[in-house]
Amino acid sequence: MPHMAGQPLAFSPPVQFSEHAVREMCRLARKGYEVPGKQEVFGFLYGIRNGDNRLLIRHARYYRGGKRTRYGIDIPIDDSRRRRRALSRQLGQRYLGSFHSHVEIGGWNARGLSPADLQSFRNDHGSPLEVIVNVWAGTPRSLRAVPKTVFAFEPDTGYHYRIRAYAKLRNGIRRTRIRVLRSRAVVIY
Ligand SMILES: [Zn+2]
């Protein structure tokens, strides 16, 4: 098992997402999908760790920097960390991790962390979570429940999303349980 400097942020699963944060991640993933040639998008997650040691993610914020392609994102480390600290101060919330999208290309869509994703997450000691948002277009089908996964479908746009979160635990990087705190019943999970 690879060595991780410092202790990972301790929390009790599931990680809770506000519907607002989920919608924002989905909206950004969709924007990247609609760029000609398709692009992955990348951003930061903010929220709190409450008294029960639960992480509650309230906001997702897009990061403009770096170089995006359909297969990955090259993020300038110093600039992105300055930006994420500034956003944390602005929002008055804790930085809880990053998210990025994986776009469907010719029917193929990488579900988990790629080896490069894993490496950059592991090296980023300030980041407790890495969230992947898969995005693809298609007709709705009945979705079966998949552990540790949130599915969303937007009837208005016809896009599907699959959301998974990875956390640094004592035994390494693992997929963790997530839950969406619903405020309105427009997106179907
Ligand atoms: Zn990736």
Instruction: Tell me if 186 is assigned to some domain.
Output: no
Domain assignment present for residue 100? The answer is yes
The CATH code of the domain that includes 36 is: 3.40.140.10
- Per-residue pLDDT, averaged over 73-97, amounts to 95
- Work out the average pLDDT over 145-156: 87
Cβ neighbours for 27, distance < 8 A, ≥ 6 positions apart: none
Q: How confident is the model at residue 138 (pLDDT cuts 50, 70, 90)?
A: confident
From the CA of 66, how far away is ligand 1's center (Å)? Answer: 14
90 domain-assigned: yes
Residue 36 pLDDT: 93
188 part of a folded domain? no
As residues whose CB is below 5 A from the ion ligand 1, the structure lists 114, 117
Domain assignment present for 2 = no
The sign of the CA dihedral 116, 74, 62, 168 is positive
Give pTM, 2 decimals: 0.91
Compute, in angstroms, the gap from residue 123 CA to the centroid of ligand 1: 15
Q: How many whole angstroms from 117 Cα to the centroid of ligand 1? A: 5
Place 124 in a pLDDT band, splitting at 50, 70 and 90. very high
Closest CA to 163 of 144, 146, 142, 149: 149
pLDDT at 184: 60
Residue 155, in any domain of the structure: yes
Gap from CA of 182 to ligand 1 centroid (Å): 26
For residues 98 and 41, is the Cβ–Cβ distance under 8 A?
Answer: no
User: Can you say whether the dihedral through the CA atoms of 8, 179, 93, 43 is positive or negative?
Assistant: positive
Please determine, for residue 177, whether its predicted confidence score (pLDDT) is greater than 90: yes
> Is 140's pLDDT higher than 80?
no
Q: What pLDDT, on the 0 to 100 scale, is given for residue 72?
A: 81
CA of 168 to the centre of ligand 1 (A): 16
**Confidence class for position 79, pLDDT limits 50, 70, 90:** very high
pLDDT band at 5 (very low <50, low <70, confident <90, very high): low
Q: How many domains does the chain have?
A: 1
Q: Which domain holds residue 79?
A: 15-181
100 CA to centre of ligand 1 in angstroms: 6
In this structure, is residue 75 part of a structural domain?
yes
Please report whether residue 10 resides in a domain: no
